[in-house]
Structure 1
Amino acid sequence: MIDFQNVSFSYGAQQGQRSVQAVRQLSFSIEKGSQVVLIGRNGSGKSTIARLMNGLLLPDQGQVTVDGKLTTDEDSIYEIRRQCGMVFQNPDNQIIGTTVKDDVAFGPSNLGLSAEEILHRIDESLAMTGLLDLKERAPHELSGGQKQKLAIASVLAMRPDCLILDEATAMLDPIARRDIMELITDLKKNHGLTIVQITHHMEEALPADYVYVIGDGGIAFEGRPAQVFDQIDRVKEQGLAVPAHLEIARLISEQAGVRYDREEIISFSGAVRFVNRVLKDRPAGPIRECAYRPGPDESQTPVVDVSELSYAYDTPAGAPIEALHQVSMSVRPGEILGIAGHTGSGKSTLIQHLNGLIPAAEGKVLVLGRDLSQKKVVRDIRRHVGLLFQYPEDQLFEETVALDIAFAPKQQKRNPLEVEKAVLRAAKRLGIDSILDRSPFELSGGQRRRVAIAGVLAAEPDIVILDEPAAGLDPAGRDALFQDLLSLSSEGATLIIVSHDMDMMTRYADRILVLKEGRVAGIGTPAQIAASASFLDQAHLDMPAPKRFLDALAGEFGDLDTSCFNVMDAAEALLAATRRTADG
């Protein structure tokens, strides 16, 4: 259906900036009705390739065809864009209607269809995405997952043959992400759509028919999911990760000297069966307990102290919407506190109270011992508290990356040499020192996020608050970011990190605060928070993948430590565990 022949594309030089080649001599094809996933590092060219597919970008060399029609043919471009609908990472960027049904109606209206046909397509596409009961709702009243479904419904109303999803699940909580993946499966299986998906969640690539690993604007390697993820070293060389269950199974295979079937262990259940079978008669090794980060010093005075904080948002009509209800928490110097919860649980509202963006209407917020109810205090505290918003484009505005990072140090009245040093230090920490002369608006989503984080760190705050800092980052970039955050903590900074990613939170946070519907559902160490699968499920959070794998085998082993949050610890815990006897 989609065919690339020797395609190259460069982002042109603007205002003296250098030209950057994003796609190089790329040739591949996508069959009608297939599900194809593109994975690769930030800046590897994935999003550019997606935009070349439906003519949002046109190749400098080579040709792209959709059902035989050239994307460079002006007479065909509107039909190509109808055939290949695109859904972006942030649904707010493509929602324009005042109601759900108005937004879905926009596309069919532009096709010149009759009112009767438009109404039929509205109901049809909303029913397919499970939003039919919400068609009179205003889009801003929807959750993040519902907004993404609305973006998909608006594309489906155009009756496309192909759905292109560019990191469409990156900002969603685990439940919403699963809903979108189930919808994608249904659209392929029951409606015959071709699916092209770009993702950094490796588990989302497993149901695909074919996977392309993109590197440096071309195809690094390709194959069925089992073929691609069987090449663990090559996958990691590309800055990507392997699903935890598969990597644990491979580690057990190597240690036990037993061959594996890659088609079996590609699925979670198959990997569990394989490990269970391999360890059936293997003698247990020495007892191995999983490692934990030491907790904060409880004797220290908190740098953040929140007491009985409640907050409600006003609405144009009707009662205010309560976002926080009697939330109490404290953070110690040098601590890494994770804040987790479903979309709309109050996470962003809470952290915006911590630097005075939202004044405490009910309850008390103390930061560095000072009460943020006083306006004078708020102005001074913001010099000590850095805040990264959920969407990096919300705080990028300068012409170049260097100028954007330099903004905060300049506002602190530092001299030019100090500003330059702060910019270079932050840029090197985030691995973006090679793109300082580029416009932040021509970067990939992951690169923009690094720039936004660098802009926060350049101010050298005592407290760093990051809202979904790793969303949109490739696995290697995500790991590198959290390692950098650990080094910040060791240098004395206090970190508050909002994230849906329980794998990263349990590996790096000292404690995790879980919010549910604006209330504190729980707070404790990673092991305490991850102890109950039902608790996490009720909070719309995923069990960390290594622990989920161990939990699946816990019934078979008497002394298995299931509180392991990385694959190496999980594999060693399994090798050390003693199998239960029939009567044990």
Structure 2
Amino acid sequence: MNQGTTDHTETKTISDLDGPETIVNARSVRYVYSLPEGRKIHALTDVSFSVTRGEYVAVIGRNGSGKSTLAKLINVLEVPESGHVVVFGIQTDDDNHFWDIRKRCGMVFQNPDNQIVGTSVEEDVAFGPENLGIDSSEIRLRVDRALSYVGLSDLAKRAPSSLSGGQKQKLAIAGILAMMPEILILDESTAMLDPISRNEFLLLIERLRRDHGMTVFHITHDMTEAGRTDRILVMNKGVIVMDDKPSRIFLRQAELVDLGLDVPIYVRLAFSICRRLGLECREEYLTSLDAAVDAVSHMLITHAPRLQDPKLISDNRQVLQLTSHPSEDIGTVFHQDEPAQVDQDRMNTSILIEVSHLSHAYEERTGNAISDVSFEVRRGEILSVIGHSGSGKTTLISHLNGIVRPQSGSVLVRSASGDRVYDTKRNSDVRQIRKTVGLLFQYPEHQLFEETVEKDIAFGPRKLGLDPDSIPNRVRRAIDLVGLDETILERSPFELSGGQKRRVALAGVIASDPDVLILDEPAAGLDPVGRRAVFEYINELKKIGKTIIIVSHNMDEAALYSDRILVLSNGQLQCINSPEALFSDMPEIERIGLDLPEIVRLMLAFKNALDINVNPVVFDLESATEELIRAASALRDMQTPEPDGGAHA
């Protein structure tokens, strides 16, 4: 690129650096974090990139790869050790003019609690515009508009402390939108949003870009989000290793996997189908979900192998008939949730937690956070709890180990041996309940407090009185299971990246070895390798008889890993069912307003494109590939004339 400069020595500005539309330009940037005892972390090494006005740029990479540091350099929260960053023609190390950059940049952090300052929702949203000196009448308009954008208008008078994690994230976003920044920087800002809220926010971003020319710099681990941008920067160990439009980045799937990253499910499925059919996966297939569906559908119809055995065709027709209207006979086809008649005593010992008519209301809220909720947790199962932001999920799980006591109803917890039942209402039982039931909060970094990672992980086992000689091994095993290197043990937990903090907090719960693990969004903020490591460990725990309760907004993970899924809406239990039964009942899904797993939505798109009864209720890539190959093969056989001129019966 041609690079011209204008000398403004007094203000250290640089204009026309990469053309008139370039508003961010970084050249040869290096940044080092200095740690105690002289240790250093090289967060960025020789980083160069530019951003043009109105561009939507995604930044992806492993936890600790330098993404957040890069974002902070744009907003002048940090300045480079060497090299330069120029924003709006102003060098960020210009002490006299860096505020001119901050006024025009807005950043939403990973943890919304770090940037909420108001005593009410509307006061918090007004804080930014007030500091910009905006007229009070204009501030009122901006606050109302921003709250409407994120769906918090009805909560304007509420205290931020009374909001759910997802609602707090919406509040943080609204506070920045009210400032109407020219550059919006999002640091994993959608990680705690439910799928519907996340999609609404991404649509809002598209609208703001279209109507106001806003530039967006979006750090994310969600590859589908990244696929909706103009361009992706891929970071690895402080270096930008790829910089291109999404389709070209995704075409390099193997390289991304080697870097510990992933691609959207529609890209993975396109590659999988191409491999099965012996075809090349082309860039034009990967530009969007619709493009992938169209291209793969054509390949399937043209190249899918024929099913030579008429019996397979007959069996296929039966399967298709079965899955064409699954909700009509859901109890017969999919509903395996109700246990068979068994000895009552044996049934009782298989129930680990019993919740009966549980209700809870917070003083600062109107109505119940949860209302008349009853269900049982079975020994050795993985139970996912899902629902929109503010539906009562965190309140519910806080009752399960006695952090919050029932105002109405009861929570009973059975001991590991099965010979005792503890009541969360009894003070004498709570200590034993907390030994049995471990809880990882929605923002687990709040659970970190020791001076080193090793001491933090060891704290729980020591407080439980476990054998001191066993604790070092517990710590190292826990660190290994969450995918961290032992070299991290001597570091302060407060100097880690957001994703690393989450893994350390999870390791702290794991090291205490409770019988029940309750994990509130355990993989939020983790890179793909970290997410897989968490769920692989969860599966290992299940194999040895542990019971796991997971609060999640990720429908694909809930469907793939859970034995049952509990759905909350407005504090009420809507249903508790197997993933197959839940996501097959489309009328129920629509009634609740629940989003589908991405892979199910993708399969529904193929069903419509192929005009064939594809079974959409599959939760993994291999099953989806096999189902599409089978359905397309059957369709070809049904359409192929027999030698005598007839068709297959």
Same fold (TM over 0.5): yes
The answer on whether the counterparts of 1:90 and 1:171 sit within 8 Å (CA) in structure 2 is no
Question: Are 2:323 and 1:323 aligned?
Answer: no
Distance, in Å, in 2 between the alignment partners of 1:310 and 1:181 is 36
TM-superposed CA distance for 1:119, in Å, is 4.3
Question: Are 2:49 and 1:3 aligned?
Answer: no
TM-superposed CA distance for 1:427, in Å, is 1.1
Q: Which amino acid aligns with 1:532?
A: D
Distance, in Å, in 2 between the alignment partners of 1:261 and 1:491 is 44
TM-superposed CA distance for 1:105, in Å, is 2.8
TM-superposed CA distance for 1:540, in Å, is 4.4
Distance, in Å, in 2 between the alignment partners of 1:358 and 1:21 is 43
Q: Which amino acid aligns with 2:213?
A: G
Distance, in Å, in 1 between the alignment partners of 2:463 and 2:196 is 41
Question: Are 2:432 and 1:411 aligned?
Answer: no
Task: Give 3-state SS (helix, strand or coil) of 2:490's partner.
Answer: coil
Question: Are 2:265 and 1:244 aligned?
Answer: yes
The answer on whether the counterparts of 2:358 and 2:374 sit within 8 Å (CA) in structure 1 is no
TM-superposed CA distance for 1:258, in Å, is 4.0
Question: Are 2:381 and 1:335 aligned?
Answer: yes
Select 2:605's aligned residue among 549, 552, 577: 552
Q: Which amino acid aligns with 1:61?
A: S
Alignment of 1:72-221 (within 5 A): 72-119=93-140, 121-123=142-144, 125-126=146-147, 135-140=156-161, 144=165, 146-221=167-242
The answer on whether the counterparts of 1:312 and 1:320 sit within 8 Å (CA) in structure 2 is no
Select 2:616's aligned residue among 562, 569, 575: 562
- Cα deviation digits, residues 339-376 of structure 1 (max 9, x gap): 11111222111211111111223222221133322221
Task: Give 3-state SS (helix, strand or coil) of 1:569's partner.
Answer: helix
Task: Give 3-state SS (helix, strand or coil) of 2:628's partner.
Answer: helix
TM-superposed CA distance for 1:130, in Å, is 6.0
Select 2:354's aligned residue among 284, 306, 331: 306
Alignment of 1:266-277 (within 5 A): 266-277=287-298
The answer on whether the counterparts of 1:173 and 1:541 sit within 8 Å (CA) in structure 2 is no
Distance, in Å, in 2 between the alignment partners of 1:123 and 1:564 is 42
Distance, in Å, in 1 between the alignment partners of 2:197 and 2:253 is 29
Q: Which residue of 1 aligns with 2:565?
A: 512
Q: Which residue of 2 aligns with 1:579?
A: 635
TM-superposed CA distance for 1:248, in Å, is 1.1
Which range is displaced more, 410-419 or 256-265? 256-265
TM-superposed CA distance for 1:128, in Å, is 5.7
Q: Which amino acid aligns with 2:626?
A: E
Q: Which residue of 1 aligns with 2:278?
A: 257
Which range is displaced more, 171-180 or 156-165? 156-165
Distance, in Å, in 1 between the alignment partners of 2:425 and 2:138 is 55
Please identify which structure carries the higher helix content. Answer: 2
Change (3 A) 1:576 1:132: closer
Change (3 A) 1:127 1:525: closer
TM-superposed CA distance for 1:560, in Å, is 3.5
Change (3 A) 1:48 1:573: same
TM-superposed CA distance for 1:480, in Å, is 1.3
Which range is displaced more, 105-114 or 24-33? 105-114
The answer on whether the counterparts of 2:29 and 2:80 sit within 8 Å (CA) in structure 1 is yes
Task: Give 3-state SS (helix, strand or coil) of 1:331's partner.
Answer: strand
Q: Which amino acid aligns with 2:360?
A: A
TM-superposed CA distance for 1:18, in Å, is 2.5
The answer on whether the counterparts of 1:309 and 1:324 sit within 8 Å (CA) in structure 2 is no
Task: Give 3-state SS (helix, strand or coil) of 2:368's partner.
Answer: strand
The answer on whether the counterparts of 2:437 and 2:518 sit within 8 Å (CA) in structure 1 is yes
Q: Which residue of 2 aligns with 1:390?
A: 442
Change (3 A) 1:101 1:270: same
TM-superposed CA distance for 1:121, in Å, is 4.5
Task: Give 3-state SS (helix, strand or coil) of 2:103's partner.
Answer: helix
TM-superposed CA distance for 1:217, in Å, is 0.5
TM-superposed CA distance for 1:563, in Å, is 2.4
The answer on whether the counterparts of 1:295 and 1:510 sit within 8 Å (CA) in structure 2 is no
The answer on whether the counterparts of 1:308 and 1:325 sit within 8 Å (CA) in structure 2 is no
Unaligned 5+ segments in structure 1 are: none
Distance, in Å, in 2 between the alignment partners of 1:155 and 1:509 is 36
Unaligned 5+ segments in structure 2 are: 1-22, 324-333, 341-345, 415-420, 640-646
Q: Which residue of 1 aligns with 2:91?
A: 70
Alignment of 1:427-438 (within 5 A): 427-432=479-484, 433-438=486-491
The answer on whether the counterparts of 1:315 and 1:321 sit within 8 Å (CA) in structure 2 is no
Alignment of 1:444-463 (within 5 A): 444-463=497-516
Change (3 A) 1:265 1:108: closer
The answer on whether the counterparts of 2:481 and 2:537 sit within 8 Å (CA) in structure 1 is yes
The answer on whether the counterparts of 2:566 and 2:576 sit within 8 Å (CA) in structure 1 is yes
TM-superposed CA distance for 1:454, in Å, is 0.4
Change (3 A) 1:537 1:24: farther
The answer on whether the counterparts of 2:251 and 2:286 sit within 8 Å (CA) in structure 1 is no
Question: Are 2:403 and 1:351 aligned?
Answer: no
Distance, in Å, in 1 between the alignment partners of 2:430 and 2:159 is 34
Distance, in Å, in 2 between the alignment partners of 1:205 and 1:110 is 32
- Cα deviation digits, residues 137-170 of structure 1 (max 9, x gap): 5444556555434323332343422010000000
Q: Which residue of 2 aligns with 1:498?
A: 551
Task: Give 3-state SS (helix, strand or coil) of 2:584's partner.
Answer: coil
Question: Are 2:550 and 1:487 aligned?
Answer: no
Distance, in Å, in 2 between the alignment partners of 1:116 and 1:374 is 53
Q: Which amino acid aligns with 2:232?
A: V
TM-superposed CA distance for 1:471, in Å, is 0.7
Q: Which amino acid aligns with 1:236?
A: V
The answer on whether the counterparts of 2:75 and 2:102 sit within 8 Å (CA) in structure 1 is yes
Alignment of 1:20-31 (within 5 A): 20-31=41-52
Distance, in Å, in 1 between the alignment partners of 2:476 and 2:282 is 48
Q: Percent identity?
A: 44
Distance, in Å, in 1 between the alignment partners of 2:400 and 2:148 is 41
Distance, in Å, in 2 between the alignment partners of 1:180 and 1:168 is 10
The answer on whether the counterparts of 1:463 and 1:493 sit within 8 Å (CA) in structure 2 is yes
Q: Which residue of 1 aligns with 2:527?
A: 474
Task: Give 3-state SS (helix, strand or coil) of 2:532's partner.
Answer: helix
Change (3 A) 1:135 1:389: closer
Change (3 A) 1:118 1:547: closer
Distance, in Å, in 2 between the alignment partners of 1:141 and 1:80 is 33
Distance, in Å, in 2 between the alignment partners of 1:295 and 1:403 is 43
Distance, in Å, in 1 between the alignment partners of 2:114 and 2:373 is 32
Select 2:472's aligned residue among 401, 416, 420: 420
The answer on whether the counterparts of 1:302 and 1:330 sit within 8 Å (CA) in structure 2 is no
The answer on whether the counterparts of 1:500 and 1:541 sit within 8 Å (CA) in structure 2 is no
Task: Give 3-state SS (helix, strand or coil) of 1:279's partner.
Answer: helix
The answer on whether the counterparts of 2:235 and 2:242 sit within 8 Å (CA) in structure 1 is yes
Q: Which amino acid aligns with 2:350?
A: P
Distance, in Å, in 2 between the alignment partners of 1:296 and 1:410 is 41
Select 2:252's aligned residue among 225, 231, 253: 231
The answer on whether the counterparts of 2:149 and 2:174 sit within 8 Å (CA) in structure 1 is yes
Larger Rg: 2
Q: Which amino acid aligns with 1:393?
A: E
Q: Which residue of 1 aligns with 2:331?
A: none
The answer on whether the counterparts of 1:308 and 1:362 sit within 8 Å (CA) in structure 2 is no
Q: Which amino acid aligns with 2:210?
A: K
The answer on whether the counterparts of 2:192 and 2:524 sit within 8 Å (CA) in structure 1 is yes
The answer on whether the counterparts of 1:336 and 1:509 sit within 8 Å (CA) in structure 2 is yes
Distance, in Å, in 2 between the alignment partners of 1:215 and 1:309 is 50
Distance, in Å, in 1 between the alignment partners of 2:141 and 2:373 is 46
